[in-house]
Amino acid sequence: LGSSLRGTLDTLQGKSRLSKEDVDEVVREIQRSLLQADVDVDIVMELSDSIRTRALEEDPPAGTSARDHVLRIVYEELVALIGDSTDLPLEPQTILLAGLQGSGKTTTAAKMAWWFSKKGLRPAVVQTDTFRPGAYEQSKQMCERAEVQFYGDPDAEDPVEIARRGLEATEDADVHIVDTSGRSGLNEELIEELKEIEGFVDPDRNLLVLDAAIGQGAKDQAQAFGDAVGVDGVVITKLDGTAKGGGALAAVNETDSTIAFLGTGETVQDIERFEPNGFISRLLGMGDLKQLAERVERAMQETGDEDDWNPEDMMKGQFTLLDMRRQMQAMNNMGPLDQVLDMIPGIGGGLMDQLPDDAMDVTQGRMRDFEVIMDSMTDEELRNPRVVGAERTRRIARGSGQPEERVRELLEQHRMMERMIKQFQGMGDGDMQRMMKK
Ligand code: GDP
Ligand code: MG
């Protein structure tokens, strides 16, 4: 998954215009990726049409390759489909969670409460599930872990009555999260109960909680919940598993809502505010292009303008230890180099495979040692590390208080990176240069 899409995109390297065949091929791969991520077939077809039309009709802006052009169209169309994250003002409000049993409502309630508490609000969870044995205990424990207020009553039978007492008991909280019971499938009883609770609580927002593995069933569920109480936002849970959550797009589409949160684990901290870029990257199994561009830009701003160091020179000519030091500083700001490279289509896969595993493995601790060692090197040695033989190694080691072994490691690391840079230099399309320039 993703790699065939990447492969197809790579065949567009260097082209400035796309033929109809090129576009068809890209669209086919996008379709494959989206269907594998459980995106609804109708949605995939609709998306394909708009991508195909735009890719053929719109000319790539000057200086943009056909591949980047088509990638941007794909990205824009997906953003348009998925939308921004559900609006959630940081102010007093009541949120109702709905969904089938096991979708992750109770877990999400505690997670959201934790999230709001980190934003400086005072949340409380009201547990109205009288259907599932153990719901009270589970909810109570999670809320304790989240260190948020909780109300439930294991002996009560009427969910509306629990909601009434719960809202009263937690009056001084400013965000109320009302958890409801689910059923193993959609049925009249569930919907009726939900309507009653919703009618009484009168929430500001109803969130539909969906398991990432939901697949094609999302549409019917969303419709049923939407008809009953209205859906303002969707929470996709269990994204830490293998499912990519594409099924939830049908729910968003069906209810004309957006995605609010993503659940990424079983503990109360495993919650993320939805953000289209990362989600789309995950769906397509491709690198996070937007974030990459921003991170590279930030990193280059922080390290690039201390003197006249120009990453482009590095790409053209020699790769010195001075370049390596700048690289390491940039990496500190961007994250591990292999992850950064993996985000760039065309570089990630193929090239990474040709490098030894530890070529990228410069840990933060080792970087600090390397810094210290470089401080003990002369300008000549930094500019031309080839001159460092056994004798100079000894001197540098003594001067820096590092073992000779570490000095040799630094030189070895430099040689590996030099080799890698040479390979970039050999790349026709110049992804790296463009990336560095941004
Ligand atoms: P509810 O019936 O809708 O209230 O669902 P629960 O909150 O009880 O969750 C059902 C199961 O899914 C529990 O075992 C949770 O621990 C698990 N779960 C919920 N959210 C996540 C998540 O984001 N990741 C993982 N791995 N498990 C989750
Ligand atoms: Mg529950």
Supply the pLDDT for residue 300: 44
Last residue within a domain, chosen from 284, 313, 336: 284
Residue 128 in contact with ligand 1 by CB distance below 6 A: no
Supply the pLDDT for residue 299: 46
Task: For residue 64, give its domain range.
Answer: 3-82
In CATH, what number is assigned to the domain containing residue 38? 1.20.120.140
Q: How far apart are CA 304 and CA 278, in angstroms?
A: 27
By the 10 Å C-beta count (0-12 exposed, 13-18 middle, 19+ buried), 24 is classed as middle
Q: Which residues of the chain have pLDDT under 50?
A: 1-2, 292-297, 299-300, 303-308, 345-351, 357, 359, 428-430, 433, 435-438
Query: Is there a single domain that holds both residue 181 and residue 270?
Result: yes
In CATH, what number is assigned to the domain containing residue 149? 3.40.50.300
Last residue within a domain, chosen from 82, 101, 135: 82
For ligand 1, mutation pick of 237, 244, 270 (most atoms within 8 Å of CB) = 237
Query: Is there a single domain that holds both residue 235 and residue 277?
Result: yes
Residue 88 lies in a domain: no
Residue 139 in contact with ligand 1 by CB distance below 6 A: no
In CATH, what number is assigned to the domain containing residue 310? 1.10.260.30
Between the CA of 103 and the centroid of ligand 1 the distance, in Å, is 6
Query: Is there a single domain that holds both residue 165 and residue 18?
Result: no
Instruction: Please give the distance of CA 206 from its chain centroid, rounded to a whole number.
Output: 24
Does the annotation place 105 within a ligand binding site? yes
Supply the pLDDT for residue 393: 95
Question: Alpha carbon of 237 to those of 9, 105, 276, 351, 434: distances in Å?
Answer: 31, 9, 16, 34, 37
Measured at the CA of 397, the angle between CA 359 and CA 355, to 5 degrees, comes to 5
The ipTM, to two decimals, is 0.99
Q: How far apart are CA 215 and CA 238, in angstroms?
A: 13
Q: How far apart are CA 318 and CA 10, in angstroms?
A: 27
Supply the pLDDT for residue 64: 62
Query: Is there a single domain that holds both residue 298 and residue 409?
Result: yes
Query: Is there a single domain that holds both residue 231 and residue 324?
Result: no
Last residue within a domain, chosen from 284, 307, 342: 284
Give tens-digit pLDDT for 12-31: 766 777 889 989 988 998 89
**pTM for the complete prediction?**
0.69
